[in-house]
Amino acid sequence: MRYVDFVRQAPCRDADPSLFDATSAEDNLEGLEYCRTCPLWSACDEHIEPAKNSYDGIAVGAVWKDGRIVAMLRARIDYKR
């Protein structure tokens, strides 16, 4: 999926960007709610590459700190990397 298509289709596209800045398990609930039903986890991972880019924040249904998962949703166990 092209980046521009990913951005247009992402359920979080109109959300406050600060919701996705969480880097601890305690501060993530509101941002992760956008991920709960998102059908674009693979595209999110492809474009953000959180592990490779030492990402800090919420992406691909998880909270990342320095490219490592510190918290994640349980609802989307079907996601395959």
The answer to whether position 63 is within a domain reads yes
pLDDT band of 47, cuts 50, 70, 90:
very high
pLDDT in tens, 6-21: 999 999 999 999 999 9
Name which of 28, 36, 43 is nearest 74 in CA terms.
36
In the chain, the amino acid numbered 35 is C
- Work out how many domains the chain is built from and give that number: 1
The answer to whether position 80 is within a domain reads no
The answer to whether position 50 is within a domain reads yes
Q: Domain limits at 19?
A: 3-72
Name which of 79, 57, 80 is nearest 68 in CA terms.
57
